[in-house]
Amino acid sequence: METGIRVLLLTAVLMTLPGCASVRNWFHHRSEVRQQKAEAKEEAAQQDAQAAAADADATPPRVVDPEVERRKIKVPHIRSSNIEIGINDGFISIEDFGTNNAYGLTAAYHITEDFFFQGEYGRAYAGRTSFETLGGNIQLLTSAERQFTYYDISLGYNFLPGETFIGRGHALTTAFYFLGGIGATKFAGDDRFTVNFGGGYRVLPSDWLAIHIQVQDRVFRTDLLGVSKLTNNMEASLGATVFF
Amino acid sequence: MFRLPLAGLLLSLVLLAAPAVSSAREHLQVYITAPYLELRSGPGRGYPVFHVAERDESVQVLFRRTDWFKVRTERGVEGWAAQRDMLRTVLADGTPFKFDLGDRAGFTSHNFEMGIFAGEYSGSTLVSTYASYSLNSQLAVELSVGEFFGKYSNGVVGDLGLTHVLVPEWRFSPFLMLGTGLVHVTPKATLVIPSDRTDQTAYVGGGVRYYLTRRFFVRAEYKSHVVFTKRNANEEVDEWKLGFAFFF
């Protein structure tokens, strides 16, 4: 344990050395910049004075002094609209526990036209296994344990961009996308590492609104029914998101 | 029971926010210096070109999505123009239209960074995400949260610290980390002492980042944590992880 702390302190000291090199500049840099600005101003003033003196010598005083002011252009901030937030509702087939309603929240950040990161959080309520249904009064899980919650962070890839047409006058942009990521599932009183992958179809009725149809498989290992096995939990959902 | 009202509430929030997004505001006007400017129907190279604006015409820049700009021509046609085409437009005073390109230069110096990781925390599988804010091109404040799934316990970790990139210009650039955090461990119920515990930690670490393309980079890192437990001896925990990140 002491070695750990010693290593910690030593590394801390080592880290601050190069770190200081960059931090130090904050204070010094500011005074340097100020000094440079002052010098530049002085120089400009001197040059102006010289130019004025030269002008006075060379040209006679003007009758009309044109006052042309250059229009200064203020560049307005260009809004970025890369964030997508929304809700979805659908079904999830929880392995051994039947198909159940699932709903959730999604948030995505579009990094390039091809790639985006997406985070999801969802809930479902697991039904009864065949064993429970056939066995009468047997309950494998309590009501609280049947609550199935999951989250994931995925990387998405857009492919097959296109347009879909409604009547003669309307074209909506669309795209298919792949999703793959990692996350966790809380089910039957335990948190499990979960891998998710799937895909979806996105239709944009306007620049700020998107409708999603998404299918994903959530895979995690569980030993709930005696043997340790990988379970596949397919989810299909319909969602709406808003771009910000 | 509360599901429907909750969904309704969220939906109404979303709908409330919508008009704010599309509300009118002052837009930047730029002039085309290239022979023409192609407008596409969507923000991507796969969407078709449906309109072309000519040289010396002006367009209003409405907003931006990834590397595409939504613009409106003088005739009121709205479409998406690519970033590389917008580089060949000028402002009303003739100066070039400049904007954040999201390229290698951005990798060297940027404001924000975010990423996701998969890895190992003390032998357990770890899922983690981080966000950082750069104070300058070398020093950044970083917040990371993660969840780990072990054989005997699960838990969540949260770290706050400083990251120091040694040579930001390098494509393959190493960095050092130092900080503090919290770890919350939930032992699995089958164990003898099934009580949760939260402990403070301190960590040092290092890693490398490798610029891939556009705004993307790969990041691999190692952290050595000291967990200040309430028992006699402190614990030492190793954390390894590998992931994707992007800057903006």
* pLDDT tens figures, B123-181: 999 999 999 999 998 999 999 999 999 888 889 999 999 999 999 999 999 999 999 99
- Residue A35: its pLDDT value, please? 79
* pLDDT tens figures, A81-100: 999 999 999 999 999 899 99
DSSP E strand boundaries for chain B: 28-32, 36-40, 49-54, 58-65, 68-73, 78-82, 89-90, 112-121, 124-134, 139-149, 153-165, 172-187, 197-211, 216-228, 235-247
List the 153-212 stretch of B: residues with Cβ below 8 A of A: 154, 162, 164, 166, 176, 178, 186, 188-189, 202, 204
pTM: 0.77
Residue B33 distance to chain A (closest CA, Å): 18
ipTM over 0.90: no
Q: Which two tokens stand for residue B4?
A: 């429907």
pLDDT above 60 (res B36): yes
Residue B161 and residue B52: Cα distance in Å, rounded? Answer: 50
**What 3-state class would DSSP assign to A128?**
coil
A166 versus A66: the higher-pLDDT residue is A166
* pLDDT tens figures, A168-205: 888 899 999 999 999 999 998 888 999 999 999 999 99
A1–B226 C-beta distance less than 8 A: yes
Distances in Å between the Cα of B119 and the Cα atoms of A62, A182, A193, B161 are 77, 11, 11, 19
Domains in chain B, start-ordered, CATH in brackets?
25-99 (2.30.30.40), 106-247 (2.40.160.20)
Q: B83-95 burial, b for 16+ CB within 10 Å, e for fewer?
A: bebbeebeeeeee
Residue A81 and residue B106: Cα distance in Å, rounded? Answer: 19
Task: Give chain A positions within 8 Å (CB) of B7.
Answer: 87, 89, 103
- CA angle, corner B34, sides to B86 and B77, nearest 5? 60
Q: What helix, strand, coil percent values describe chain A, rounded to 5?
A: 25, 50, 25
What are the residue ranges of helices labelled H in B35-118? 83-86, 104-108
Residue B240 and residue B224: Cα distance in Å, rounded? Answer: 9
Q: Which two tokens stand for residue A19?
A: 């770190």
Chain B, nearest residue to A9 by Cα: B204
Task: Give chain A positions within 8 Å (CB) of B178.
Answer: 11-12, 15
List the 92-121 stretch of A: residues with Cβ below 8 A of B: 103, 105, 109-115, 117
Task: Give chain B positions within 8 Å (CB) of A73.
Answer: 91-93, 95
Place of tokens 């309590």: A142
* pLDDT tens figures, A10-42: 766 666 555 545 554 555 556 666 777 788 888
Residue A187 CB partners (closer than 8 Å, separation 6+): A94, A126, A145, A147, A148, A149, A222, A224
Residue A51 has what DSSP assignment? H
